[in-house]
Structures are given as C-alpha cells and as structure tokens.
C-alpha cells in the first residue's frame, strides 16, 4: 500500500513521459470503444431477437468513446489513432471474418468476453492511478462494461451445448492475440503506473469467471484461460 501511495505521488500527468504514453493508451481505449460500438451494431443484425438490447449496448460504447476523448483533451494529449488501429487489427480482422461467416458464437467470444474482460481489467487497474477527471469517467464506464460482459455470458450459457466447440476454437485463435496486445502495451501502461502482472491477473479472473458462468468446468477453464500465455 505504501508503495502504491509513493508511486501515485510521483505521477506527473503533465510530464512529457506521461503524455507520450497516454497518447497511445488513450488512443487504444478510444479506438476500442469505437470498434465495440460497431461490433454491437453488427451483433444486433446477427441476433434480431436481441436487436434493441444490442443497439442500446452500442450506444453505451459510443458514449464511452466520447468520455475517453475528453480525458485526452483534459491532459492536452493527441491520441495516436493509427497506432491504436494496428493494435486492434488482429481481433478486428477475426471479428469481421467471423461475422461474414455468420459465426455469432465467435463474434460474442471476441467482443463480449475477450474484449470486455480486457476492458474491465484495464479500467479496474487504471482507476486508482488515474487523474481525477479520468477516474470519474472510467468509474462510470467500467460499470457498463460488466453489463456488456453479462450479455455475452447469458446468451452463451443458454446456447452452451451447441456453442462449446466453436468457443474452444475461437478461444484458441484469439486469446494468444490478447497476450500479444498486453505485451505491446506493457511499457506504456507502466508509465501510467499500471502493472502488467496486475492486468494479466485481473483479466484471468474476469475471463475465468465468465467461462464458469457460461458452463465450462474448472478443468476446461484452466486450459482455456491460459492458452497462449506461456510463450
Ligand atoms: O467494450 C469495450 O468498451 C471495450 C472496447 C473497450 C476496449 C478497451 C481496451 C482497453 C485496453 C487498454 C490496455 C491498457 C493497458
Ligand atoms: Fe465500452
Ligand atoms: Fe463494452
Ligand atoms: Fe463478475
């Protein structure tokens, strides 16, 4: 705890080092929210029975994007959106390909499980070390992200038997990408006082809980949630 306090005291939100790292992390979050907005619109087309709810989730994502754009402006940081597009290219491409094939289970795993758990982990770890303005925004956003994760959990739990094989395949294709993304952002996250180990731990907890809620056994969860981590 003392260590955390010392670290926070040393954070200078106006330093060039902080702002440089923030230009990439803030861009990742803005681009992530934009893609989440598009992904929920796509999911609404694929799941007409849940159209209204999914459109409502998409609107929440576009509000999140506006909130994080304000966080960047507040620190006078210009987000590096080109970097962020490349950062998300792997998951984005896989979502697009799955949507084109009508693979709704894969789309839900990518957006509502993997990306939402990544967001929840990142926002939880960011909140205690954020500037006051960004902390208030992020606290509001993370509550919404739990409800997005819940949508995916509930749908996949109701369709567990027929989705299980596709979930395992989609996990195998996409989880290693998440570990690569974490490695790519670790140094910038560290500048913001976000520890990579804490991000990995929180992600594994959220994702493991989600897989459990959907119906996977403890044994399956161990195998699925660490897939591609030890490389
Ligand atoms: O559902 C959502 O709103 C998710 C799109 C947003 C993704 C946020 C991605 C956060 C990763 C940041 C990594 C910082 C260490
Ligand atoms: Fe969001
Ligand atoms: Fe979300
Ligand atoms: Fe939970």
Q: How confident is the model at residue 228 (pLDDT cuts 50, 70, 90)?
A: confident
CA of 27 to the centre of ligand 2 (A): 13
The ipTM (two decimal places) reads: 0.94
Phi, psi for 197 (deg, rounded to 5): -60, -40
Q: Each residue of 56-107: pLDDT tens digit?
A: 999 999 999 999 999 999 999 999 999 999 999 999 999 999 999 999 999 9
Say what percent of the chain tops pLDDT 90.
93
Q: What is the pLDDT of residues 139-164, one digit of tens each?
A: 999 999 999 999 999 999 999 999 99
* Residue indicated by tokens 């992390």: 25
Rounded to the nearest angstrom, the distance between the alpha carbon of 83 and the centre of ligand 2 is 19
At 226 the pLDDT is 83
Cα(192)–Cα(20) distance, integer angstroms: 10
The model's pTM is: 0.95
Instruction: Note the pLDDT of residue 10.
Output: 76
**Any atom of ligand 1 within 6 Å of the Cβ of 36:** yes
What lies within 8 Å, CB to CB, of 164 at 6+ separation is: 215
What is the whole-number distance in angstroms between the Cα of residue 194 and the centre of ligand 1? Answer: 14
149 lines ligand 1 (CB under 6 A): no
């Amino acid at each position: 705890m003392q260590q955390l306090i010392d670290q926070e005291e040393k954070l200078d939100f106006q330093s060039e080092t902080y702002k440089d790292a923030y230009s990439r992390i803030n861009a990742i979050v803005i681009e992530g929210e934009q893609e989440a907005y598009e992904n929920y619109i796509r999911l609404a087309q694929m799941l007409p029975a849940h159209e209204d709810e999914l459109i409502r989730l998409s609107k929440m994502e576009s509000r999140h994007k506006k909130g994080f754009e304000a966080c960047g402006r507040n620190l006078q940081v210009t987000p590096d959106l080109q970097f962020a597009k490349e950062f998300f290219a792997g998951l984005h491409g896989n979502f697009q390909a799955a949507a084109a094939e009508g693979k709704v289970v894969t789309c839900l795993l990518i957006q509502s499980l993997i990306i939402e758990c990544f967001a929840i982990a990142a926002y939880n770890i960011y909140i205690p070390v954020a500037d006051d303005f960004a902390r208030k925004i992020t606290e509001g956003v993370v509550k919404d992200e739990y409800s997005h994760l819940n949508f995916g959990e509930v749908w996949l739990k109701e369709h567990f038997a027929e989705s299980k094989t596709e979930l395992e395949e989609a996990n195998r294709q996409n989880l290693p990408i998440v570990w690569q993304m974490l490695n790519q952002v670790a140094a910038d996250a560290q500048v913001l006082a976000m520890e990579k180990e804490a991000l990995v731990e929180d992600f594994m907890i959220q994702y493991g809980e989600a897989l459990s809620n959907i119906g996977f056994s403890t044994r399956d969860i161990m195998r699925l949630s660490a897939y591609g981590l030890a490389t």
